[in-house]
Amino acid sequence: MAENTRAVGGVGRKSAAAGYLRAVGAVVWKDIAAELRSRELLGSMLVFALLVILIFNFALELDLRARQTVTSGVLWVTFAFAGTLGLNRSMAIEKDRGCLDGLLLAPVDRSALYFGKVLSNLIFMIVVEAIILPLYGLLYNVNLFIPSLLVVILLGSIGYVVVGTLLSAMAVQARTRDILLPILLFPVVLPVLIAAVRATTGILQGLPLEDYQAWLNLLIAYDIIFLGVAIISFDYVVEE
Amino acid sequence: MEPVPRNLKILTGITSALFVIALYMVFFHAPREAVMGDVQRVFYFHVAAGWVGFLAFLVTFSLGIVYLITRDRKWDRIAVASVEVGVVFTFINIASGSIWARPIWNTWWTWDPRLVTATVMLLLYVAYLMLRQGIDDPDRRARFGSVYGIVAFVSVPITFLSIRIWRTIHPVVIGSGDPSGEGAFDMTQPMLQAFMFSLLTFTFIYMTLLWYRVRLGRLSEKVEERKMEMMSI
């Protein structure tokens, strides 16, 4: 295959890239198809997210004044908790039914599997966020559809899922897997959450871009650093 | 049971002697700080313990890369030993800082960037140990440990630089003479000597403990192997 691509030159390289994308797409499609049939992941993530908001509502007395300062915190804690649930589940089904071994046997680059899992995890997280955001807006009568806020949520979710997919691939192979993922993930992902919360607060309070630009930069920097580290180390995590 | 190697015995002797001298330097050679008084003497061991934490995690990070390339378990044994020593010293660092902060900042704890980054670093390496505990297969344990040691290392430069990037209450004594930190001071010559000597001593303590721990790791692996042999008979 490798000689083949070299011989054909430009055309071969293009088809290799297309093959890579096809492999990524296949993993994503497999996850979405499985989810559409079983509906166990998104449902539990959503219900869990709603419960978290419900608990916050009574724990923090989310009245008008409190909401102005804690909304971003409540949102991100909700996303983070629901995200952990999704990450754990999405890797556990691969592991339990021997699906991961099957995927590893496929003649594609390991990083394609990683990107596929990242994308499908990201899609699930975004779906949950897309339902939680308007719901939160409806419950508390705030408008959360601010374009810059959506960008921050996307960047934060990318950082979260990029690290989370790598660490959940490790956590599911341990004996204590259900309790292990949050312990492994939260300290690593804390800078992403801090930056996302600060940027979200800035946007919700209507501050100018300069005031939260630094947090946005930090968010982008973390996304890139973690993506690099994860791509390099994923091979070592899944090899058997 | 194999005997303790001679070099390790010698190293232990040197380290003990250094520690006694370091105690003398800290309590008698270094003068009493004019503003803060005797509590400032925490500083010498506080920074030295923090330094050992950074050094230990740097060793783990480097050996993690070496292990993933060479696949020789000896490197992983040193890496995990280094984390254990580093966690203990980072905890000493945080605890001693807290003791100093009580009279100087008038609180045991404050959510300052330096304190937070150091705590997150500690939690990361505690998580490292928990991850290893949960995995039975030794090769997989070594592989995951190496990967997590590399990922967790992101926190080390951030912790080190945190008092230099962000506005913080934590003093920067080494390097810049920025007096904005609460409790900053300039070191006199004897203070600097005591400080440098503490750093040296703690580096020796680190090496000694690391050696003992690596040896212990090797022995316990042997025991594990023997057990497997017995069970297979």
Q: State which residues form the domain around A70.
A: 9-238
Residue A2 within a domain: no
Query: Are A175 and B134 in contact (CB < 8 Å)?
Result: yes
Residue A27 sits at the chain B interface (C-beta within 8 Å): no
Distance CA A104, CA A116 (A): 13
pLDDT 10s digits, A86-126: 998 888 888 887 888 888 888 888 889 999 999 999 999 99
Q: Are A234 and A111 in contact (CB under 8 A)?
A: yes
Residue B228 lies in a domain: no
Which amino acid makes up residue B4? V
Looking at beta carbons, which residues of chain B come within 8 Å of A237?
A: 143-144, 147
Q: Along the 233 residues of chain B, how does pLDDT read in single tens digits?
A: 678 889 999 999 999 999 999 999 999 988 888 788 888 899 999 999 999 999 999 999 999 999 999 999 999 999 999 999 999 999 999 999 999 999 988 889 988 888 999 999 999 999 999 999 989 888 899 999 999 999 999 889 888 888 777 777 888 776 555 555 666 777 788 888 999 999 999 999 999 999 999 999 999 888 988 988 888 87
**Chain A contact for B135 (CB, 8 A cutoff):** yes
Q: Is A218 on the interface with B (CB under 8 A)?
A: no
State which residue of chain A sits closest to B138, comparing Cα positions.
A174
| 3-state SS assignment for residue B215 | helix
- Domain with B135, as residue range(s), is 39-170+187-218
Query: Can you say whether the dihedral through the CA atoms of A123, A125, A128, A131 is positive or negative?
Result: negative
**Chain A residues within 8 A of B150 when measuring between CB atoms:** 229, 233
Query: Mind telling me how many Å the CA of A138 is from chain B's nearest CA?
Result: 34
CB A83 within 8 A of CB A125: yes
A227: contact with B, CB 8 A cutoff: no
Instruction: Specify if B135 maps to a domain.
Output: yes
Secondary structure of chain B: what % helix, strand, coil (to 5)? 75, 0, 20
Residue of A nearest to B64 (CA): A233
Distance, in angstroms, between B136 CA and closest chain A CA?
8
ipTM summary value:
0.84
* Ramachandran angles phi, psi of B169, nearest 5°: -85, -15
Number of domains in chain A: 1
Q: How many domains does chain B have?
A: 1
Residue B184 has phi, psi (to 5 degrees) of -75, 155
Nearest CA in chain B to A184: B127
Q: What interhelical angle do B42-70 and B138-152 show, nearest 10?
A: 130
Q: Is residue B5 part of a domain?
A: no
